[in-house]
Amino acid sequence: MLLTGFAPFDGAAINPSWEVARALHGRQIAGVSVIAAALPVAFELALPSLQDLIAQHRPQLVVSLGLAAGRAAISLERVAINLIDARIADNLGAQPVDEPVLQDAPAAYFATLPIKAMRRAIEIEGVPAEISYTAGTFVCNQVMFAALHFSHALTPAVRAGLIHLPWSTGLGEPALDLAVMVHAIEQALTVALHTQSDLLEAGGTTH
């Protein structure tokens, strides 16, 4: 499987999404090798990098890790939208507003990972987890949307999605211990490999 994190951005020294992905690089999960890669936090470069990685490794799963400020739980994203609306500049200084991720593509894609089963696996480990309905409008959403778009075109189609790791108050500081998140993500990936049909249980919100 291909597991991506992101390079540091906005002045941070590290990006925990890459630290978690890097910790799982080379592991065997349910008999499948994990290939981890760091994507640039740059709209111009992230998608070509992702596309090259998918073409090179031909994974059976594509899972991206990102960071979500202000969240206290690991967030399994359900929806990626075809929109870039950058609140801050990327690492190349680009700050596109109201642009599509990909021209002539659908308005949105749903994750094709069994996110509710993955959430349960994380919660069994005593780690807070949630289903999220917004992957934002920055590079994380761009990568999730593109991963789903690219994976739909493969034969057979590859399942893909994005998991946001929670930030605490400091930029680049995880709200959960890195080792805890590594273990939780490993459990979630194990479930993703074993589960074809997701759990039929509530995961919605009231706002």
19 is an active site residue: no
Distance in angstroms (rounded) separating the CA atoms of residues 31 and 186: 13
Give kind and range of the element (H or E) at residue 166.
strand 159-166
CATH architecture of 2-194: 3-Layer(aba) Sandwich (3.40)
77 is an active site residue: yes
Mean of pLDDT values over 59-86: 95
Q: 85: alpha, beta or left, given left = phi > 0 and alpha = psi -120 to 50?
A: beta
Boundaries of every domain in the chain: 2-194
Mean pLDDT score of the chain: 92
Output the furthest CA–CA distance in the chain (Å, rounded). Answer: 43
The pLDDT score that the predictor gives to residue 171 is 53
- Asked whether 85 and 131 are in contact (CB, 8 A), the reply is no
Catalytic residue among 123, 125, 140, 173: 140
pLDDT digits (tens, 9 = 90+) for 112-163: 999 999 999 999 999 999 999 999 999 999 999 999 999 988 878 899 999 9
pLDDT digits (tens, 9 = 90+) for 154-182: 878 899 999 999 976 555 566 788 999 99
Catalytic residue among 19, 44, 77, 130: 77
